[in-house]
Amino acid sequence: MISARHIAPRETDISIERPYRPLLVIRPQDLPDRRLSQDTAIGLAAQDAAIGLAVRLSMQDTAFGLTAQHAPISLAAQHARRCREALRQLIAGDNPFLLLPDTPDDSRDVTLDCAPDALFETIALCMFSRQYIRVDDVPVLPWQAAPSPGLMRRLQAQGWPEIRQWDLRHAHWLTGQHQVEGLADTIPGATNQPWIFIEGPDIDQTIALEEALHRHCTALLQDNPPLQALLTEKNQLQKKLDTLKSEHRVLQERMHNAETTIGIIRSKYKDDYDTLFSWYQQEYETLPLWYKRFGQLIKVLTGKRTAKSLVLAIRRRLHRHTAPRSPNSHLKKDRT
Amino acid sequence: MPGLTLLIHLYYPGSWSFLEDKCRAVLRKADRIIITACHDDVLNEVVPPEALAGKDNALVRLKVPNKGKDIGGKLAAFSYYMHFCEKTEYIALLHDKVSPQTINADYWSQQLYSLFSKENLPKALQLLEQDHRIGIVGAKAFLKNEYMPSENTFNTTNHQLLMEMIRDHRLHGGIYDFIAGTIFIGRSRIFEQFFSTQSPLDARAKLETGNVLDLETGTYTHSWERLFCFLAEDQGFTIKGI
């Protein structure tokens, strides 16, 4: 059972940033606690072939109002609830995570050539999480057996330009203490901070493996200060580059949207103006002059215009008619 | 059962503080808020309202691709609600109504947001509590009807798509009132019933990408704007403007 206590920084007091990115392989039902790790450098890889189905079962359970108070619940329903709660915590939490669906779901409806809703929707909702692992803003779907084209199509139809696939056979794995030393030696030479999947026989041993790797890397770097300095600088630069790339993507999208809007405004504002102008011409300008002047009196009576302003306007008009005409006076309009 | 889930889609930076100002009443009233946005900077601006402080699962932020404008975000939020949330009596839909392409965008947003003002929100909730035939309440100025029964057509570029969607989802509304702008409050069970058999994400998949408009041709995005209310009518409810 994993908890904040388990994966928070421990007595090893390792202050050096990890030169790798850990992904603790967990079963969602092992995450019943209300709080996940406070160490946001710890990533989680939720493994369960039946996650989607579990969530769907639990969803129906909630929809029909079957709570623990009302009826005894089956083990399957309990499992489903724990899965759902764990995924909810992952989606809303602060730790980076991803899903490890084993394989395309066998229960898919072949007539529809698409993945079953439960699995598809669960993956998509996880990918909507801010913490779901992305590379260059593209969500990652790891697999041991390639996902079905139907599933990939449905995911991509949600608007991601692509879904990055990770073949887990080519990923870095840490599954036993005997691998720690060898793996730690390869990490500093990696071009990027590598993602490392860590999986022990149970959650406690998984955490112990991560601790061992972290300790080993720390000792290695402490023994070699220039390497440590170089790695730190490289990681900082990488983070800056990633941030700039991300900002660039957002700015590009916003600029594209703004350009589209400007294009629309160019034609639509003109159309709106034409509509407004024709309405004015038809509804007001065609009225006889006496009617419009009578309207000014009504405006004064209803308080929409002051008497003073009307008197001033009349005086101006009279003055214009009595004053000698300037050569360009024919250009002026009577603006009643 | 908590009372109100609020689904909010934000696109523009700065929108959260604007909504905090204009829609304070509904933000205070909400028992849960699901916020969707396309970019991190917009989501980072969101400050949990005091009323939700310390409540578990009360404020959820989702980062969604820019698809179907606010409708795409709201459908993603519906999917999250259906999968992970305890059901509430009411659902309110809201987004940052900026519409930079229109001359009178301020008028639109002020009218639409007026539903969630301190004065109008209690009225809307009272209407829903007292009259069980009302399914959705929105701003009166935006209660629209484009349906022409004599010709069985909708007076909009979205006519073909609306007919297609009404047929596909077997809707039998008949009146076809809707709240333009998709800012309203309604009974959750309308949407729960529909989305328990139809995936919100499959509906979302059909929506258009980017800043799409329906000035010349119809879009799934703008058709869904109308369909939310048609769902209520299909289940025997009416749409009310205040």
Average pLDDT (B38-53) is 89
Q: Which of A185-189, A212-216, A248-252, B219-223 is least confident? A: A185-189
Residues in chain A: 336
SS in 3 state form for chain A?
CCCHHHHCCCCCCCCCCCCCEEEEEECHHHCCCCCCCCCCCCEEEEECCCHHHHHHHHHHHHHCCCCCCCCCCCHHHHHHHHHHHHHHHHHHCCCCEEEECCCCCCCCCCCCCCCCHHHHHHHHHHHHECCECEECCEEEEEECCCCCHHHHHHHHCCCCCCCEEEEHHHCEEECCHHHHHHHHHHHHHCCCCCEEEECCCCHHHHHHHHHHHHHHHHHHHHCCHHHHHHHHHHHHHHHHHHHHHHHHHHHHHHHHHHHHHHHHHHHHHHHHHHHHHHHHHHHHHCCCHHHHHHHHHHHHHCCCCCHHHHHHHHHHHHHHHHCCCCCCHHHCCCCC
Tokens describing residue B111: 């009218």
Q: Which of A87, A159, A264 sits opposite B101 (nearest CB)?
A: A264
Interchain contact B40–A (C-beta under 8 A): yes
**B98 close to A (CB below 8 A):** no
pLDDT band for position B97 (cuts 50, 70, 90): confident
Other Cβ atoms within 10 Å of B95 Cβ, number = 25
| Chain B nearest CA to A235, separation (Å) | 22
Chain B residue with the nearest C-alpha to that of A64:
B87
Q: Which residue has the tokens 């608007």?
A: A159
Inter-chain residue contact A125 with B84, CB threshold 8 Å? yes
Asked if A128 and B213 come within 8 Å (Cβ–Cβ), the reply is no
> Is A134 in CB contact (< 8 Å) with chain B?
no
Hey, is the C-beta of A14 within 8 angstroms of any chain B C-beta? no
pLDDT tens for each residue of A216-260:
998 888 888 898 888 888 888 988 999 999 999 999 989 988 888
CA distances to A118, A269, B80 from B199, rounded to whole Å, are 10, 38, 11
Residue A70 is predicted with a pLDDT of 47
DSSP state of B196: T
**Do the chains contact at B72 and A159, CB–CB below 8 Å?**
yes
> Does residue A12 have a pLDDT over 70?
no
Give the position of tokens 């803003």: A137
Q: Is the pLDDT of residue A123 over 50?
A: yes
Q: Do B72 and A117 touch (CB under 8 A)?
A: no
The rounded mean pLDDT for chain A is 79
pLDDT at A283: 85
Give the pLDDT of residue A104.
58
Query: ipTM surpassing 0.90, yes or no?
Result: yes
**Who has greater pLDDT, A308 or A321?**
A308
Give the residue-averaged pLDDT of A75-99: 84
Q: How far is B101 from chain A (nearest CA, A)?
A: 5
What is the per-residue pLDDT across A151-188, written as a single tens digit (0 to 9) for each? Answer: 888 999 999 989 999 988 888 999 999 999 888 888 87
Q: Do A88 and B63 touch (CB under 8 A)?
A: no
Most B CBs within 10 Å, among A33, A158, A251, A264, to test the B interface: A158
* Residue A256 contacts B, CB cutoff 8 Å: yes
Q: Is B44 on the interface with A (CB under 8 A)?
A: no
Q: What is the mean pLDDT of residues B197-210?
A: 92
Q: Is the pLDDT of residue A29 over 90?
A: no
- Asked if B66 reaches chain A (Cβ–Cβ under 8 Å), the answer is yes
Q: What is the mean pLDDT of residues A9-36?
A: 69
> Does residue B218 surpass a pLDDT of 50?
yes
Q: Judge residue B11's burial from the number of C-beta atoms within 10 Å of its C-beta, 0-12 exposed, 13-18 middle, 19 or more buried.
A: buried
